[in-house]
Chain A
Amino acid sequence: MIHFENICKEYSKELFKKGAMALRDVSFALSEQQTLGLIGANGAGKSTAIRLIMDFIRPDRGRITLFGRAGADVQQKRRIGYLPESAAFPANLTIMDLVRYTARTCGLSTTLHKERSTALLRQLGLWEVRNKRLRTYSKGMQQRANFILALLNDPDLLILDEPMSGLDPIGRRQIIDLIQQLKTEGKTILFCSHILGDVDRLVDQLLVLHKGQVLFNGQPADLLDRFGAASIEEAYLALIAHQTGGHQHAA
């Protein structure tokens, strides 16, 4: 479903700012109905990878294909649900305005979009506040609003950028349950997170990025076995320590 082949991305220089290499020769693939967890520290390149998949930025080298077609083909976004890292709404709009925008651009019929939006707004607890401006929403409500927009078109592929960031334990539980439910429904999910406890529970496949390079790509059990670790967090820290130690040794 997603093929990310030998991608290099450097953020170009700006005034008083150095250029920075965000991804170096990164490759991975995500098959249908799989859940891939993209993990790494801040600045590892997780969000860059997601922005490349969403075609917000373009790779310097390499090739991205989604559903077997070039990543830049906008029509594919009918089949994608995207959850941004932080709420990014025009401040004076309501969730209903954005629901209408999503429905119309994705070509949903009025009946279907009303049916789906009502169900999602009720399920995620935003029905009562649907006509309030999005700027009055709390962080958790904004994240749920983002989920409604991402799921409205019943996408085959979900791309979630830090879905649990900034949420309280109840909000996190709600989002984890929702992702579990989507997994059960057979959706393909790619999500990035630095909350490794959540990743542990959700993913079938793990991609560890560090300073723009792939350190591990495979099943979580393999990573645990490699370091004899009890949790993903432990294994991740051991992997980073191993890598850093390796580099120091090489230097």
Chain B
Amino acid sequence: MLRNLSSLARLVLLDGLRRHALIGLILLAFGLEAGGLLFMDFIPRNIGRASADFILSVGWLTGFLFLLFHAVQAMAWDEERRTIHTLLARPISRTQYVLGTFLGLAVLLLLLNIILGLLGYGILTMIRDSVKQVYFPHLSLPHYLLSWIGLTCIELMILAVIMLFSGLVRGGFPVLLLTVSYYFICTGLPVVRAAYASRLEESGSALNGLLVGLTILFPDFSRFDFKALVTSSATGTVSHLLATDFLVLALYLTVVLWGAAIVYQRRDLQ
């Protein structure tokens, strides 16, 4: 099983690297970050917070572009060009196909985040060294790493959902639209919950139940957003909260990938 998964993941990884999926995105991120540096002078105070937010937002944007324009397309190409037939002509199950492809894309994503993370840390250090300490008092490496891990967790959840959507609908464009819609619902739902928080107590459990139910389907990504900690001087993080977050991630990935595997098991390949 592991040998099959790693063999398939290796193909996905090599294909992605040779397609220059990462180089283009890294250049884009570098361009954005270099451009952003020019505007740092216009930030009146708290340069540290603003630049950390900016670096991580560029990282997020780049990862999201990878998901929409590489991961979604890679799945669609497999079916449209019938590459999936070549892969499944070997003793590899459809579940292994889903998991192996997910693994390959996840490794690509991880590589992208590692490179962007290193690049971003260099830029942050450069900014910190070039401004007065009052504007950039603190840069925490562990929290910076935690922020990137959080970002990667969100991207992995979206990647798992892409695997599911790719099984449910044919073609890259519908999957792309569904993924974007999913992301907007995930980011919008906490806002809706907050807006109705005061009314919930009055309106009873039905609406509350609905919103909680929707949160299971459309998780609150803000729980993985640790950007604010990067430049804060607070020491340590609440480890049991982190453990809950990662448990949620593990559960979500398991359920969604299991769903994707079931969908692929049952359907005809194009």
Binding site for B on A (CB under 8 A): 11-12, 51, 54-58, 74-78, 80, 82, 84, 86, 88-93, 97-98, 100-102, 104-107, 133, 146, 149-150
Contacts and interface: CB of A to CB of B under 8 A. Distances in A.
B15 A92 contact: yes
A96 to B, nearest CB: 11
Contacts of B11: 90, 93, 97-98, 101
For the complex of A and B, 6 pairs with smallest distance between CB atoms: A92-B18, A82-B89, A88-B82, A57-B268, A105-B90, A77-B91
Given A56-B85, A82-B89, A105 B3 contact: yes
B82 A106 contact: no
Contacts of A58: 268
Given A84-B82, A89-B86, A101 B91 contact: no
A57 B269 contact: yes
Contacts of B4: 104-105
B8 interface: yes
Given A90-B15, A93-B14, A105-B7, A80 B89 contact: yes
A106 B91 contact: yes
Nearest to A159: B89
Contacts of A97: 10-11, 14
Secondary structure at chain B's binding surface: helix, strand, loop or mixed? helix
B93 interface: yes
B86 A98 contact: yes
Secondary structure at chain A's binding surface: helix, strand, loop or mixed? mixed
A107 B1 CA distance: 11
Given A77-B89, A101-B11, A133 B268 contact: no
B7 A101 contact: yes
A102 B18 CA distance: 20
B192 interface: no
B140 interface: no
A89 B82 CA distance: 8
Interface size class of B (residues with CB under 8 A): 20 to 34
A56 B3 contact: no
B23 interface: no
A53 to B, nearest CB: 11
B88 interface: yes
B8 A101 contact: yes
Contact of B82 (A86, A100, A150): A86
B10 A54 contact: no
Contacts of A92: 14-15, 18-19
Interface in B82-108: 82-93
A102 B90 contact: yes
B81 interface: yes
Interface string B202-217: 0000000000000000
A91 B85 CA distance: 14
B86 A149 contact: yes
Contacts of B7: 100-101, 104-105
A55 B168 CA distance: 19
B93 A74 contact: yes
Given A80-B89, A88-B84, A93-B11, 4 more contacts: A90-B15, A97-B11, A101-B87, A133-B18
A93 B3 contact: no
Given A57-B268, A90-B11, A74 B92 contact: yes
A186 to B, nearest CB: 22
A165 to B, nearest CB: 14
Nearest to A79: B91
B162 to A, nearest CB: 18
Nearest to A152: B90
Contacts of B88: 54-56
Interface string B71-84: 00000011001111
A12 B170 CA distance: 14
Given A86-B82, A101-B8, A54 B89 contact: yes
B210 to A, nearest CB: 30
A88 B85 contact: yes
